[in-house]
Amino acid sequence: VLGLGSYQTAWTMLHRFRRAMVRPGRDKLKGLVEVDETYLSITDRKSPATPAGRKSSTTKVLMVMAVEIVEPKGFGRIRLRRIDRDSASHVIPFVQEVIEPGAQVRTDGSAAYRALGKLGYTHQRTVMLGSGVPAHVSMAGVHRVASLVQRWVLGTHHGSVQPDHLDAYLDEFVFRFNRRTSSSRGMLFYRLLQQAVVTPPVTYGDVVSKNTGERQSDTITG
């Protein structure tokens, strides 16, 4: 229908749209915001062949999440990002970038978040161990979003997302989730096209430049 000449062209076009899904200067999350990390299971198709001849294996990638909580049981906007470690040097910059100062930030008991109170946030630590309250109850927002992201990666993309491209897919999920209640799907696509026009161009070489010799192993569904 679109007249695309190759899989490579379609794959690159999808990555162009994903880059356009992040609006520069977008509003930060506010109010009560839950923050936590989780591991995503994805399929690494660049790994060595297994004894059975398959060229893929499951790997786990760390992701940090921020979820606006709308009382009593609702969720607002979200932000997601891949990180290398669940340390303060990785999670604190994420919080500062995506959450408005003065917001109430709810986390687990991890020491990585201890500095939040000194950075202009109201920090609510929820210690899970010995509390008697299941984590999916005391931190319902991030647990719900983590489940939805994992289901989306495994269902829509069959788990086939290269680690170096994960942030682009997370941007797509954020774009979809934050507009889940929109009554005008056509307008959403129109706004995306508007943003794509002002987004710097990207080529296939740009997308794969981090991995010499990499090819389009990510699925193009979704």
- Residue 60 belongs to a domain: yes
Residue at 212 is within a domain = no
Q: Give the domain range for residue 114.
A: 26-184
pLDDT digits (tens, 9 = 90+) for 5-27: 677 777 777 777 777 777 767 89
Q: Is the pTM of this model over 0.85?
A: no
What local confidence, expressed as pLDDT, does residue 2 receive? 61
Q: pLDDT: is 46 or 65 the higher one?
A: 65
Average pLDDT, the chain: 82
Asked if residue 208 belongs to a domain, the reply is no
CATH of the domain at 44: 3.30.420.10
> Is 103 domain-assigned?
yes
| DSSP per position, 19-73 | HHTS-TTPPPB-SEEEEEEEEEEEEETTSPPPTTS---EEEEEEEEEEEEEETTT
Residue 222 has pLDDT above 50, yes or no: no
pLDDT-above-90 percentage for the chain: 41
- Residue 214 above 50 pLDDT? no
In a domain, 84, yes or no: yes
**Assigned domain for 204 exists:** no
Is residue 172 in a domain? yes
pLDDT tens column, 163-178: 888 888 899 899 889 9
| Number of separate domains in the chain | 1
Give dist(CA 26, CA 61) in Å, integer.
26
114 in a structural domain: yes
**Range scoring the smallest mean pLDDT among 94-98, 123-127, 179-183:** 179-183
